[in-house]
Amino acid sequence: MNIVLIGFMGTGKSAVGKRLAERLNRPFLELDRIIEEREGCSIAEIFERRGEAHFRRMERAAVHVAAQLPDVVIATGGGAALDDENVKALKATGILVCLTATPEVIRERVGDVRTRPLLSGAADPLAEIKRLLAARAPRYALADHIVDASHLSVDDVVESVVRLVTRGA
């Protein structure tokens, strides 16, 4: 089975995914990076030039390709789990682990919002993070496991995920 990290931006999906893949000796796929490579520009530029709907189409295509691979670690973008078809495809071949963090921790980890199209236009990024988290909570709750990464190191989150996914395996 694949291990699929979902959850809001700034919760550590990329850093955890990379280390988790090393730890388990599996290939690591980061969907946002795959999309950037395919488009030849950054996520922020894709949103700016082609719009969010185009980005979501690219994301859906990347999800469906990644979900067909065997035994990989996948880090999704924060919005991938909003789409029913994405969740269905990822669940068919993988265990979904949602990383969470408090809005304050997310705000700190996100840093410069200019690289985050969903936050870059907000007058108050923390308030926007809280609003989006509340709106997305039911989607992130579709995960098989949830790990609160607010106060854990990357290695600690990796070990928590390993314990969860190997339990009963």
Can you give the binding site for ligand S3P, defined by CB under 6 A? 9, 13, 32, 43, 77-79, 116-118
In the block, residue with structure tokens 């682990």: 97
Q: Least distance in Å: CB of 137 to ligand S3P?
A: 13
Give the nearer residue to ligand S3P in terms of CB position, either 43 or 158.
43
Give the nearer residue to ligand S3P in terms of CB position, either 26 or 56.
56
Q: Least distance in Å: CB of 166 to ligand S3P?
A: 25
Query: Number of H helices and number of E strands within the chain?
Result: 9, 5
Q: Least distance in Å: CB of 155 to ligand S3P?
A: 20
Give the nearer residue to ligand S3P in terms of CB position, either 110 or 165.
110
Neighbour count for residue 93 (Cβ, 10 Å): 17
Structure tokens at 165: 């996914």
Q: What whole-number distance in Å separates Cα of residue 82 and Cα of residue 7?
A: 10
Q: What is the dihedral of CA 10, 13, 14, 17, to 10 degrees?
A: 160
**Strand-pair partners of 146:** 98
Give the nearer residue to ligand S3P in terms of CB position, either 107 or 116.
116
Positive or negative, the CA dihedral 14, 8, 162, 90 is: negative
Q: Least distance in Å: CB of 52 to ligand S3P?
A: 8
